[in-house]
Amino acid sequence: MNTKIVLITGASSGIGRALAFAFGREGARIVICGRKADALFVVRDELQQANIGVLALTADVSVEQDVKQLIEQTIAHFGRLDILINNAGISMRSMLIDTDPAVFQKLMDINFMGTVYSTRYALPYLLESKGSIVGISSIAGYRGLPVRSGYSASKFAMNGFLEAVRTELLHSGVHVLTACPGFTASNIRFSALDAHGDAKGETMRDESSMMSAEECADHILKAVKKRKRELILTTQGKLTVFINKWLPSLADKLVYNTLAKEKDSPLKSR
């Protein structure tokens, strides 16, 4: 990673922040972006204190013009781009029957269209560097999760998009990685939207029992180095994908029962 230029969206906390440190410690220079300037600049200062070269740019990946400017500013500052990590994302927690469709639109705008915009405008520079495109997806991109239908839809869309792009770029030298963490300790559940589009501000799971964001970032770093096409993390995540492929009816029951045990779950435990 020495001298590589790495752009990470949604890097003001959680996995994005951990990725900035993981790649930065390997010698890469980092561009971090986020919507909240205060939180973003805190991470910038932490990276600088660790002697990691960093450029912090505020941007909302759901806004096309923001993303165009993000890429332009990155190239203007560093002159190149080697790795794009599409990490910006938001989740939800509500039953479909209760959910305002606008919540689905917001999830798609950030999780899916944010990936489309960033990848599209970064691609000319990644073709030059024969670099990497990384999508931080989810097990929910392989197996739809109840009470998170909009989140699942956005991650299925991301997975399909990156698979198509990988195939388009098969002979270009550009590497495409779809990374799917299982349940990882991060702030995504704290900021998950409710049925009306408001952040819940609390998690419904035991964060202490999950893979840390730092461990997750280390696995993603190794996968980029090896130019892997796919990364599925945690034993639970791998098992979920396997069972869903070969025993889908059983997967329905297991997923339902697991998520019904969450705090304040609208699913009825059986």
Whether the CA torsion 138, 187, 89, 7 is positive or negative: it is negative
Chain center to CA of 127: 22
Question: What's the DSSP call for residue 21?
Answer: H
Q: Which of 240, 245, 222, 217 lies closest to 139, judged by CA? A: 240
Rounded Cα distance between 103 and 80, Å, is 36
151 catalytically annotated: yes
Of residues 117, 121, 151, 256, which has the active-site annotation? 151
Whether the CA torsion 82, 214, 177, 108 is positive or negative: it is negative
Q: Which of 69, 13, 63 lies closest to 36, judged by CA? A: 13
Residues tagged active-site: 151
